[in-house]
Amino acid sequence: MRRRSLVVVASFAVLAPGRMLEAQRPISLGVAGGVSVPQGDLADGANTGWHALGTLALGSAMQPIGLRLDVAYNRFGFSDRVGTTIRDGHQSIGSATLNASYRLPMTNSPISPYLIAGLGAYRSDCSLGAVSCDAVTRFGWNAGLGARMRVLPFRTFVELRYHRTSGIGYVPVTVGVML
């Protein structure tokens, strides 16, 4: 009996520091994806699309402010009618944004909500069958809210953000995991 108690205590001693270090990890990598909803002029011709996101996050458990570098690819489909012919195409937007996040204070909650906003470069191009438009890079901004939570062994996040650059606006709804 004493030996079993010693094994249990030793297991907790070995596993507990790992949990503490994980909570104090200053740099995290993440992958995410979801649905992108076009807004404004983009919504006039484009359908709801999809996106993929890679992120590098810098933060501390002791500070509510963090930094994130996000690289994303968004794709929206559309159809164009010329006479009686319908041609399918797509609008794609690649972006790299630097964002600041502010973790809202929540005590004893498994969910950690946050605000996020940033600036970045957005490169858009399109194709319509064999025809394509010129790729254009513009600077823009984004703002939104999200929540971090633990789902089984994973640190996950859910976000809703508005991205805007001249003439193009869209709202990606993102679900991701931090590694």
Domain boundaries, given as residue ranges, for the chain:
25-178
Give the single-character DSSP code of 46: B
In tens digits, the chain (179 residues) has pLDDT values of 555 555 544 444 444 444 444 455 799 999 999 999 999 988 888 899 999 999 999 998 789 999 999 999 999 998 766 556 666 889 999 999 999 999 998 878 889 999 999 999 999 998 876 666 889 999 999 999 999 999 888 899 999 999 999 889 999 999 999 98
Query: How far is the C-alpha of 175 from the C-alpha of 47, rounded, in Å?
Result: 20
Task: Quote the pTM value.
Answer: 0.81
Strands 85-103 and 136-151: unpaired
Other CB atoms within 10 Å distance of the CB of residue 116: 22
Query: How far is the C-alpha of 17 from the C-alpha of 12, rounded, in Å?
Result: 9
| E strand residue ranges, 129-178 | 131-132, 136-151, 154-165, 168-178
| CATH number for the domain formed by residue range(s) 25-178 | 2.40.160.20
